[in-house]
């Protein structure tokens, strides 16, 4: 009887661990789509210069094609994507253009396969 009780305790502990891991995954990697997660960042932070000053054209409707044609993302090595590297804090010209959570949104979207979703 005593033994059975402690087994149940272990199972409960294991289950709560699983729940914890599952929760952490969702907070660390939010599910982002291009339309709802990435494009709004471009629209608010980038289109004042892209394309009026320079390429790529980051306006809604044009951005996905411009980024694909210019090979700006690398789904095999997401952190080596040109788009991501350009926006990293260490980058002199663009490091201050977006905040960390927006950069994470873009990275998560590339990690998910950089789909036009």
Interacting residues toward ligand HEC by CB under 6 A = 42, 45-46, 48-50, 53-56, 58, 72, 82-83, 86-87, 93-94, 97-98
Q: Where are the alpha helices (DSSP H) in 29-113?
A: 39-45, 63-69, 82-87, 100-111
Is 20 or 108 the residue whose CB approaches ligand HEC more closely?
108
| Smallest separation, CB 85 to ligand HEC (Å) | 9
Least distance CB 30 / ligand HEC (angstroms):
18
| CA dist., res. 57 & res. 79, Å (int) | 22
As measured in angstroms, the least distance from the Cβ of 112 to ligand HEC is 18
Tokens matching residue 110: 């590339």
Evaluate whether 115 touches 34 at the Cβ level (below 8 Å).
yes
């Amino acid at each position: 009887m005593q033994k059975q009780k402690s087994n149940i305790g272990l199972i409960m502990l294991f289950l709560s661990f699983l729940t914890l891991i599952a929760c952490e995954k969702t907070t660390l990697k939010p599910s982002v789509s291009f339309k709802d997660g990435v494009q709004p960042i471009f629209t608010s932070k980038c289109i004042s210069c892209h394309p009026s000053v320079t390429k790529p054209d980051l306006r809604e409707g044009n951005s996905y094609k411009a980024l694909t044609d210019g090979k700006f993302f690398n789904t095999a090595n997401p952190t080596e994507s040109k788009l991501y590297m350009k926006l990293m804090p260490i980058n002199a010209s663009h490091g201050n253009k977006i905040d960390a959570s927006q950069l994470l949104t873009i990275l998560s979207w590339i990690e998910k396969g950089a789909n036009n979703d």
